[in-house]
Amino acid sequence: MKKSLLAAALMSLLLAACGQAEQATPAASAASEVTAAASEVTAAASEVTAAASEVTTAAASEMNAAASEVSAAAASAASEVK
């Protein structure tokens, strides 16, 4: 009877040791989730960069238009003074 209990204890230890291999799968799954999240952040950053570029272009265009108006007004005022 002692031999059968010893054999059962050894088998349960072997089975318990084999069960630890399943822990690698959640780590791989977590790594893929982190990679997916990083891709989403990169895509969002690209969208923000594109929007900032559009705003910069629009602001520069408005500044050029305003400068042209000021220049025309200054030329008109100068011609009236003469």
Q: Taking the domains of the chain in order of start, what are their residue ranges?
A: 48-82
How far is residue 2's CA from residue 79's CA, in Å, rounded to a whole number?
118
pLDDT score at 19: 62
pLDDT score at 10: 74
pLDDT score at 4: 79
Q: Which of 23-27, 28-32, 68-72 has the lowest mean pLDDT?
A: 23-27
pTM of the model: 0.50
pLDDT score at 64: 93
Secondary structure (DSSP) of 32-68: HHHHHHHHHHHHHHHHHHHHHHHHHHHHHHHHHHHHH
How far is residue 74's CA from residue 63's CA, in Å, rounded to a whole number?
16
Residue 33 confidence (pLDDT) above 70: yes
